[in-house]
Structure 1
């Protein structure tokens, strides 16, 4: 349920703000956040609730949201900040890492992904006053192209590992991404279905 952690999931010990859709809701407040900024936001929410901050559980919850495409790593070319956060006006941030070099770096930017139903956890409305970040924007076309490319890579990896559970998740994401952006994930889906049916 939105606003609560999955009691059986990897983020089970995280603050309730670490539920997948709550993570997306926090990111959606800003347009995009780096992993470090999102971790800080979740820590601030836990502090406001007088809950113990478990950095490991927060990191695990972010990993789950990324793996399930509730959050997607965004290439610097898809991002902007300042000047009203207009994603079409250039101004890509210099301090953001290329997610192609790894998804778990503190400076990898995360944006709301196709599998998310963003919801705001209690107290999140105060976060823009707490986190000192400029206005930000995301170029959805560049973001969706990056998400589709990653989806294809994830499918190839899961096929190579014979990971049927992962393939089932990715098959669902192929539908999510088509509803989220004007992209065609049919080729990826066909490869996944063929592997699951073999």
Structure 2
């Protein structure tokens, strides 16, 4: 996180460091993309930095692409008083996969395998500011969904011949095995075969 000394346009970047995003989400177990965006805007305001909505959105995109944050399926989410996530139930496909427009704002994000969550300055006030119910994530359901996404991403990157993306995904195959009782060896083998080929 920044120290508040950033100039216009720089505030969002300092507010939206990848592991800081994960740290904010970790405070709540999961947040919709819209809630995370609001949280980052609030932090920028508290740090007297200018919140750039486009930069915040881009930072979230990077965190998701790098598996620091992961879209969480409805079955993995619960909320105090409901036992489930209302946003997720109304549009399960939007939660499982990133989307455009209004649907994207409802995507629930949880801390992913590549994150090392760090708590940004002033983040301790966010639970009072956002006022969201107590939440929980079913780690087993989430990890299965993340493994499936990793497999799809690997297939897409292999099809596109995107070596840079494959390098990132190869690292994630190790991260996910340290993060959850998941075996990503077959995915890693496909990636390595492609990179070595």
Q: TM-score, normalised by structure 2?
A: 0.89
1:92 paired residue among 68, 71, 84: 84
Q: Partner residue of 1:46?
A: 44
Q: Partner residue of 1:8?
A: none
- Give the deviation of 1:14 after TM superposition: 2.1
- Give the deviation of 1:95 after TM superposition: 1.4
User: What are the superposed Cα offsets for residues 90-133 of structure 1, whole Å, 9 maximum, x if unpaired?
Assistant: 81112124334534500000000000000011000000010020
Q: How much is the aligned-residue C-alpha RMSD, in angstroms?
A: 1.6
Structure 1 unaligned runs (5+)?
5-10, 84-89
In structure 2, the CA distance between the partners of 1:73 and 1:103, relative to structure 1 (3 Å rule), is: farther
Q: TM-score, normalised by structure 1?
A: 0.89
Q: Partner residue of 1:188?
A: 187
Structure 2 unaligned runs (5+)?
3-8
Bigger fraction of residues in helix:
2
SS in 2 for 1:72: strand
SS in 2 for 1:95: helix
- Give the deviation of 1:12 after TM superposition: 6.7
Mapped to 1, the partners of 2:99 and 2:17 lie a distance apart of: 19
In structure 2, the CA distance between the partners of 1:12 and 1:187, relative to structure 1 (3 Å rule), is: farther
User: What are the superposed Cα offsets for residues 133-191 of structure 1, whole Å, 9 maximum, x if unpaired?
Assistant: 00000000000000000000000000000000000000000000000000100010000
Stretches (4+) displaced over 6 A = none
How many residue pairs align between the two structures? 184
Mapped to 2, the partners of 1:159 and 1:134 lie a distance apart of: 41
Please say if residues 72 and 96 of structure 2, whose CA atoms lie closer than 8 Å, have aligned partners that are also in contact: no
